[in-house]
A and B are shown apart, each in its own frame.
Chain A
Amino acid sequence: MLTNERHTGFSAIRSLLILVMAVLVIAGCSNMEEQPKLDEPYQSSQTFGRAARELLPEAVPVGFERADDHFYAGIVDGEWAAEFPIEITAEVLAQGQKRYNEFCSVCHGLDGYGEGVISLEGFPQPASYHTDLLRSAPVGYLYAVITEGRGTMFSYASRIEPSDRWAIVAYIRALQLSQNAPVESLPEDAQDELAVLDQGQG
């Protein structure tokens, strides 16, 4: 009887231990074994082999080549670029609007007057795009501010791809135009809309 009880205890506890070990073994399975790594150190030290080496001068990480100053820095011949390095299409403007609303509008506001929702919580207002200074600013400068940050605005280089930064700049230009459009340059239908507006007010 005693022997039977002991064997029952054995099997239950043994099953539990096997289950725990199995869970631990399964938990240990991962893809770390297959990840890219240096199997051999480049150069051995007297004490430890070492795989982490200092980068050579001029070394560029894969996918981080920045040879085109116009596209990646907004600079042409040492000056802020006045032209876009990409073609402005409807898709670019739509992408710029999407990214602007996601990243910029909380501070600069949906309409670009610098009255984002953070101003409701006491944060200092950023610059409005609808000033002579920023309307006449080269697009390369606007791109550089997104990339490097300015004042209390931090860099968005790690958050927004260069192509999307240019799309945002294009959208900012559209915002500026939408709030500062000379009537004589507008299409007829737009002028008609304004005329209707005047009649309504009159």
Chain B
Amino acid sequence: MARYEKQSFTNQEVILDGNQYIGCVFNRCVLVFSGGGLPTLERCTFNSTRIQLDGAAQETLSYLGILSKAGLYANVGGVVTNIKKGVLPIPSRPQPCDPRDTGSNYRQLGAVAGVLAVITLVLIAALWYGFLYHPNQNILGGEIQRPLEAQIPLELMPVLPDNLAAAYDTHLDNQSVTLDSYGWTDEENGIARIPIEAAFEIILEDGPPIWPASGG
């Protein structure tokens, strides 16, 4: 990249690609740009000077012509208008590896994440269904297994009361009566039943009872 300051070019073809021209004067020159590095032109003076595109730059110009001829006249005109106004075209595209350039990557990522989430939820639901609601069943088909019923012969199964909860209550109520009332355990031998609270008082008064090792 060459740098030219306050130089004068006259009657010659100047290859601009990648060069800097500051305060230069061009008299009857042809400024050629081939699509290489962009040149810098600051405070330059141009007298009867032409511009010429070559190489890749010429290709770009031809491309715009093709677009215009194809019906995108307004679009090409807009580009030209912007150039005339000094508004630079959209900067060159970022590198393809930059994720900001490919918004669809995020969409793909979101889609993959969504699919994975759905699969996970389905698996959790299947496990939940299989292990919590049907612990003894083979949810994948086949013979239903009930290990407890299979291993204990029917004649050994306990016969449960019809209403187990009510049977519990009655059972506990009867025991509570035994525990909280006076009565006779062995009246002939003078052995009584007393409430547990009365037994507490006797133990607190006299200490825990001591029975002989043999006989009652």
**Which chain A residues border B167 with CB–CB below 8 Å?**
120
User: Is B37 located at the chain interface by the 8 A CB criterion?
Assistant: no
User: Is A151 located at the chain interface by the 8 A CB criterion?
Assistant: no
User: Is A177 located at the chain interface by the 8 A CB criterion?
Assistant: yes
**Which chain B residues border A135 with CB–CB below 8 Å?**
211, 216
What is the CB-to-nearest-CB distance from A183 to chain B, in angstroms, rounded to a whole number? 4
Expressed in whole angstroms, the Cα–Cα distance for A141 and B116 within the complex equals 61
Task: Write the chain A residue with the least CB distance to B179.
Answer: A111
User: Is A13 located at the chain interface by the 8 A CB criterion?
Assistant: yes
Expressed in whole angstroms, the Cα–Cα distance for A9 and B192 within the complex equals 87
What is the CB-to-nearest-CB distance from B121 to chain A, in angstroms, rounded to a whole number? 15
Interface residues on A, range: 35 or more
Neighbour of A84 across the interface among B192, B193, B208, B213, CB < 8 A: B208
User: Is B198 located at the chain interface by the 8 A CB criterion?
Assistant: yes
What is the CB-to-nearest-CB distance from B131 to chain A, in angstroms, rounded to a whole number? 24
**Which chain A residues border B193 with CB–CB below 8 Å?**
178-181
* Interface 1/0 per residue, B172-216 and A, CB below 8 Å: 100110110011110000111111101111111001111111111
**Which chain B residues border A14 with CB–CB below 8 Å?**
106
Expressed in whole angstroms, the Cα–Cα distance for A130 and B200 within the complex equals 17
**Which chain B residues border A183 with CB–CB below 8 Å?**
190-192
**Which chain B residues border A39 with CB–CB below 8 Å?**
none
Q: Is there an interface contact between B204 and A93, defined as CB atoms closer than 8 Å?
A: yes
User: Is A139 located at the chain interface by the 8 A CB criterion?
Assistant: yes
* Interface 1/0 per residue, B101-133 and A, CB below 8 Å: 001001101100000000000000000000000
Neighbour of A10 across the interface among B106, B164, B201, CB < 8 A: B106
**Which chain A residues border B100 with CB–CB below 8 Å?**
10
* Interface 1/0 per residue, A8-21 and B, CB below 8 Å: 01100110100000
Q: Is there an interface contact between B214 and A132, defined as CB atoms closer than 8 Å?
A: yes
Neighbour of A193 across the interface among B106, B110, B182, CB < 8 A: B182
Q: Is there an interface contact between B171 and A117, defined as CB atoms closer than 8 Å?
A: yes
User: Is A184 located at the chain interface by the 8 A CB criterion?
Assistant: yes
User: Is B168 located at the chain interface by the 8 A CB criterion?
Assistant: yes
Q: Is there an interface contact between B213 and A136, defined as CB atoms closer than 8 Å?
A: yes
Task: Write the chain B residue with the least CB distance to A117.
Answer: B168
Max count, chain B CB within 10 A of own CB: residue among A82, A88, A177, A182: A177
User: Is B160 located at the chain interface by the 8 A CB criterion?
Assistant: yes
19 A-B pairs within 8 Å (CB atoms) are namely A88-B207, A90-B204, A93-B204, A111-B178, A113-B178, A115-B175, A121-B160, A121-B164, A132-B215, A177-B209, A178-B193, A180-B185, A180-B216, A181-B191, A181-B194, A183-B191, A190-B192, A193-B194, A197-B183
In the A-B complex, the 7 residue pairs with the closest CB atoms: A122-B158, A178-B199, A110-B175, A135-B211, A13-B106, A6-B103, A183-B190
Known: A14-B106, A88-B208, A194-B192. 10 other contacts (CB 8 A): A93-B204, A135-B211, A173-B203, A175-B179, A175-B196, A176-B211, A178-B196, A179-B193, A186-B202, A187-B202
